[in-house]
Amino acid sequence: GAVVSQHPSRVICKSGTSVKIECRSLDFQATTMFWYRQFPKKSLMLMATSNEGSKATYEQGVEKDKFLINHASLTLSTLTVTSAHPEDSSFYICSALTGGEAFFGQGTRLTVV
């Protein structure tokens, strides 16, 4: 199957700092990528849809100024958690579509201390 890679897999940052998470489609191009968030022992919740060359579409209740998304190329989308707080600690997962099927990255565990 297609490969979607996230980096980093784990990150610890201090409160108030910003953290960038990358999502790459390694063997296909993706005009659209998707960012999910997963709290411990919970399900995945879609945060936003990342569109190459245009603004991201955010789900209701997700702060666009808090979670900055940039989709600068057909193989890379980035999610930046700005001014991180402990409540932003979570597992962030991206996905990309190819052939109508969604492929997920391995996730990024963010811990804000």
Interface positions with other proteins (CB under 8 A) = 1, 4, 6, 9, 32, 34, 42-46, 49, 91, 93, 95-97, 100-107, 109
CB of 69 to other proteins, least distance (A): 14
**Residue closer to other proteins, measured from CB, 10 or 83:** 10
CB of 83 to other proteins, least distance (A): 26
End-to-end Cα spacing for the chain: 36
Please list, in sequence order, all residues whose beta carbon lies within 8 angstroms of the beta carbon of residue 5, skipping any fewer than 6 positions away: 23, 24, 26, 105, 106
Which is it for the CA torsion 93, 48, 76, 74, positive or negative? positive
**Residue closer to other proteins, measured from CB, 57 or 82:** 57
